[in-house]
Amino acid sequence: MTRIASLSLTLAAFVALLSPAAHAITPAEQLAAYSAQAGAPAQAARGEQFFTSKHGKDWSCASCHTASPTVDGKHASTGKLISPMAPAFNPQRFTDTAKTEKWFRRNCNDVVGRECSIAEKADVLAWLLTLKR
Domain hosting 30: range is: 23-130
Does the residue 10 lie in any domain? no
Instruction: Name the average pLDDT for the chain.
Output: 86
Task: Please give the model's pTM, rounded to 2 decimal places.
Answer: 0.81
Does the residue 15 lie in any domain? no
pLDDT at 81: 94
The number of distinct structural domains making up the chain is 1
What would the pLDDT profile of 87-110 be if each residue is shown by its tens digit? 999 999 999 999 999 999 999 998
Does the residue 13 lie in any domain? no
Does the residue 120 lie in any domain? yes
How wide is the angle at C-alpha 48 spanned by C-alphas 70 and 113, nearest 5°? Answer: 105
Does the residue 82 lie in any domain? yes
* Chain mean position to CA 70: 15
Does the residue 45 lie in any domain? yes
Percentage of residues in the chain having pLDDT higher than 70: 82
CATH of the domain at 90: 1.10.760.10
Largest CA-CA distance found in the chain, in angstroms, rounded? 56
Residue 35 pLDDT > 80 = yes
DSSP 86: S
Does the residue 115 lie in any domain? yes
Residue 21 DSSP SS3:
coil
Does the residue 16 lie in any domain? no
